[in-house]
Amino acid sequence: AAGVIQSPRHLIKEKRETATLKCYPIPRHDTVYWYQQGPGQDPQFLISFYEKMQSDKGSIPDRFSAQQFSDYHSELNMSSLELGDSALYFCASSSRGPKAGNTIYFGEGSWLTVV
């Protein structure tokens, strides 16, 4: 079965540069979530979209922005990168939002290293 696809899997950026992460949800899933996981930490919620509209916002820095496109894929844009942004970034998807009680599936993640 198709899973959540994230790209790139790894990227290395310098401080103050910009990075874009892409996420392709499971077909027919209309909800996308972004999470950030630092080393040894639990995943922290950044932002979510339902039917191409932002549905919730967590601890996402103002330097970060995201959107969900008409084909339901999503992109997380990160600017003015800082060393502390180095983390594993997950995208997840589900059908009809989290409160529908459907499974939320995660991708393999994108490793961002800021040097």
Partner 1 sequence: SQQGEEDPQALSIQEGENATMNCSYKTSINNLQWYRQNSGRGLVHLILIRSNEREKHSGRLRVTLDTSKKSSSLLITASRAADTASYFCATVGIQGAQKLVFGQGTRLTINP
Query: How far apart are CB 19 and partner 1 at their closest, in Å?
Result: 19
CA distances from 100 to 23, 25, 38, 78, 96 (A): 21, 17, 29, 30, 6
Q: Per CB under 8 A, which of residues 82..111 are in contact with partner 1?
A: 88, 90, 92, 97-99, 101-109, 111
> How far from 54 is each of 38, 67, 73, 81, 89, CA to CA, in Å?
24, 8, 13, 23, 18
Hey, which residues between 18 and 37 contact partner 1 (CB under 8 A)? 33
| Binders of partner 1 in range 46-85 (CB under 8 A) | 48, 50, 55-56, 58
Q: Which is nearer to partner 1, 61 or 97 (CB)?
A: 97
